[in-house]
Structure 1
Amino acid sequence: MIELDIEQDCVRQDGSHTRNLLRVLRGLNMFRVLYEEIIKSDGNSVRDAAEVAYEKVFAPHHSWGVRRAVESGKDTLPTKSQLLKSLNEDEGSAKVEMQSFVRIIGPVIQYVEELFNSMQLGIDW
């Protein structure tokens, strides 16, 4: 798929499979960092965890306007207890699921990043 985009010289074009794969990669990485932050926090703040995850994963690729919009919307995020209730999870079961996701998705993220880098595409675009 990536090789075809390279052949067609459309890797960075809107809608290319490669660009979409990079966006999926960032989404998975966002959840990985979010879950890591939630797991390690003692507090009840999903907002703080989401802010850290956003700053690490998406903010470097967003314009000033998008970053401001995200900043203004963070107050609408649920508390940890609200999130767990909406997911029909308790603290213990959610932690197990989040840890499982983090453990499983790490190698997937690493593989796709290495794939991009092996083709000299990088992931910072």
Structure 2
Amino acid sequence: MEGGREKPLRRIAEAFEGLAANSQTAPMEVDAFSRACSQVSVLFRCLGVAFKFAEMDYVAKVEDLSDASKSISTLNNLLEIDIQQDCVRRGGSHSRNLLRVKRGLDMVKVLFEQILQKDGNSLRDPASVAYAKVFAPHHGWAIRKAVAAGMYALPSKAQLLRKLNEDEASARTYMQTYIRCSGPVINSIEDLFNVRQLGIDW
């Protein structure tokens, strides 16, 4: 907190900076991963109705991983346990939830990239690109239609920054940090699935 104001964007950036640094030298811990991911929930909330589905789904999946961390140490172990129990792709499995959380992190990464690339105060184009790239291929027509309608209720970029208690300069710095640090984290999760020939497109 600074001057009594929450700084969620800074917390997100710092959490993933630490996660990325630690993942270079050791297997990623479920506890550290879920704690970092929990910081991102507030961003989905700030985006409003268009991403309400993502917020609810994401929060539930992160909570599941947090619970799993009490008995499972690393993401690698988490996946191996589900493979042994033949439940990797089963709804509600830790592995399936991990993939959903990874997707949420990826959406935020693309959203930040688009915000930094585009001029103007509207978030509709950045959010639409992020949704189309990450979530849309996995959603049916009804959800895609609802999200498209919700895009008109997105806050402006200025409104989002006010909710996050940031100015343009500080927001850009923290978004760049998240983009840089979330990339290796997302890639390492994809590698966990791909090296076992499980794919990530389900």
Superposition TM-score, scaled by structure 2 size: 0.61
Which aligned pairs between 1:5-44 and structure 2 lie closer than 5 A?
Answer: 5-44=82-121
Q: Counterparts of 1:84 and 1:62 in 2: how far apart (Å)?
A: 29
Give unmatched runs, 5+ long, in structure 2. 1-77
Q: Deviation per CA, 1:18-56: give whole Å up to 9, x if none.
A: 000000100000000000000111111211100000000
Q: CA deviation at 1:75?
A: 0.8
Q: CA deviation at 1:104?
A: 0.5
Match of 2:142 among 50, 65, 70: 65
Which aligned pairs between 1:1-125 and structure 2 lie closer than 5 A?
Answer: 1-125=78-202
One-letter amino acid matched to 1:53: A
Q: CA deviation at 1:85?
A: 0.9
One-letter amino acid matched to 2:192: L
Superposition TM-score, scaled by structure 1 size: 0.98
Q: Which has the higher contact order (CA 8 A, sep 6+)?
A: 2
Of 22-31 and 36-45, deviating more is 36-45
Instruction: Extract structure 1 runs of 4+ deviating beyond 4 A.
Output: none
Q: CA deviation at 1:87?
A: 0.8
Q: Which residue of 1 aligns with 2:58?
A: none
RMSD value over aligned CA atoms? Answer: 0.7
Give unmatched runs, 5+ long, in structure 1. none
Q: Deviation per CA, 1:79-113: give whole Å up to 9, x if none.
A: 01111111111111000000000000000111111
Percent identical residues:
62
One-letter amino acid matched to 1:103: R
